[in-house]
Structure 1
Amino acid sequence: MTKNGSRYYWWCQIGGWGTLALLLVLNSTTLEQKLTHKDVEIMLITVLTGILVTHVFREVIRSSGWALLSVEKAIPKFLLGIVLVCIADGLIRIGLADALGLSSMKAEFMTRLLTLTADTGVVIVPWTLIYYLFHYIQISSKQQLDTFKLEALVKELELKTIKAHINPHFIFNALNSIRALIDENPARARTAITELSNILRSSMQAEKLETVTFEKELNIVKDYLALEHIRFEDRLQVEYEIDEDTLDQPIPPMMLQTLVENAIKHGISRQVEGGKVRIVSDFKDDYHELVILNTGVLNGNRNSDGFGLASTKNRLQLLFGQKANFDIREVNDNTVEARVLIPVDMSK
């Protein structure tokens, strides 16, 4: 709790129990009873004991996380807590009254305890309701605000992702390659135009989708690599190791495309003799594991094209939870591995 929140709590405690003391005084005055020193001392014990037991109760609630529970789960815990607090309050008041010689009741101990417990319950029950409702509303408001922030972040990440993938250099390179093929191989040129069209259409549609199937994303990547093969020719080798059972798994749109594009741009294109891109998709434990291996080195570049490690992790975790993860590393002197882990929904 913040410093201001703690101060507010104590003002409420003192104000609430002080109001109770004032009501007791007014009640005595209304009944035309003379307020004695003994009555004042008993009221003081009542207020101080009430503050003590409710403060301890509050600490139990906070440390146990009861205020974070749903109403159904919170009710039995709070009921038990109320009973124990009322009994504790009664025991303390009886003990202090007897020790200070303020008790005028000649009843048996259990009768006195039950009477004081019932009296305390009249105050503790509304105190507990107010405390729980205050935190319930506060937590609900915070969760709503967090939801809005997450939605805004998702939209921002999606926008950055789409902008990053409509790469003008790739488009210009693809168009130049297609132009060179028009006379040399018209059939391949027509196919290349279709492949480029598929990639651009997918980029435009990605803004409207949270996830796509891995199969759909893989088909776009195959079109992309086919276009890049026209440019790199024998300098680009591609291998696929795909478990067919993973094809219907959801992944963020254009994520695989981006990782492969980075593998080409920061790996293959910088190798004089070119290199290899290997795409692996399989299940590992309860995860869909997606691995992109490419010839090259990191050179400290973990944040290329605005699609860095942090933003990729955020996007995965927003869509699939905290268990989703992304990492990129060198696995040997001339190979870089980008690895994505997405939890598998076992309920399906």
Structure 2
Amino acid sequence: MTSLADLPLRPELVGEQPYGAPQLDVPVRLNVNENPYGPSEAVVAQIAAAVAETARDLNRYPERDAVALRADLAAYLGHGLTADHVWAANGSNEVMLHVLQAFAGPGRTVLSFAPTYSMYPEYARDTHSGFVTFPRADDFTVDVEQAVAAIEQTRPDVVLVTSPNNPTGTALPLEAVVALVDASPGVVVVDEAYQEFVRTGTPSALELLPGRPRLAVSRTMSKAFAFAGGRLGYLAADPAFVDALRVVRLPYHLSAVTQAVARVALANAPEMLAAVDRLRQARDGVAAWLAGRGLEVADSDANFVLFGRFADRHAVWQGLLDRGVLIREVGPAGWLRVSAGTPEEMDAFQQALDEVLTDDDVSARMP
């Protein structure tokens, strides 16, 4: 049989593995930050009706630039935004890929602050862009003075900064965003995939868009909207920034079905977001419980908690999996990440972790 090694693969892809968290059939899945509360039957019925209506015209190409959907997204975001300020694509992954296709590429550099979302270097690789990181502080915040110095040294064409950060959950103050934009020669994208989960009083970078045409704010419907299977990410920016993404997007990149069901979800935004408060409480509850067990816990504004530190985190991860609980082995060495789930899922996780931490084989590996 032909293997990958027999094919004329691009040199930088040799030995690479496809991105993805483990997809395992276990009772409790708390590894990819999904919303565990699905749409109501009423919303499911509306989605089914929208798909049926759309199916009548599937012989035609979809609306190429998804203008109606972008208008709905703008209305949801507020801040005086219109459809011209919003871009939509197949998840925030494709949005970011569009950004790098438009503003990065061969001979250009992307800068981010580690630890952060593990797909960023893959976006850079896939667009032949250089990728550099600057380390976050020990508490996973971004030291603004040092970050500005890093920008002045590397002169990046794109700065990607996540708030709340994945995998740490750390939010970025608006004054830090302003400093990054002011120092940057290129564009700055604030990735707010988890913004709906922030604690009261934590602002959005959407407030900073007016007068800053090189700033963009990306979001997703996968998390708070319980729409991960719908694959809809979006970005808000100056209309000229959006036009740059329209140049590089593939024709008809958003199917008619995707556009239709996303509009149904947005029309039912209060109901789709109804579980956000429960997930915030679950996050804060499990963070307090972990800290009570003597573990280090990163301060989180997202729907997950990063905790540690373990001398052999894989042994802890495996111990949980052996007990039917799947979390994520990601982030800095010694740390693990658990998503906020239902009360039953949180109870199962806590019981399993208690058992793992009292297991002689595993506890011996802990510092």
Higher RCO (C-alpha under 8 Å, 6+ residues apart): 2
What is the TM-score when the length of structure 2 is the normalising length?
0.19
- Bigger fraction of residues in helix: 1
Kindly name which structure, 1 or 2, has the bigger radius of gyration based on alpha carbons.
1
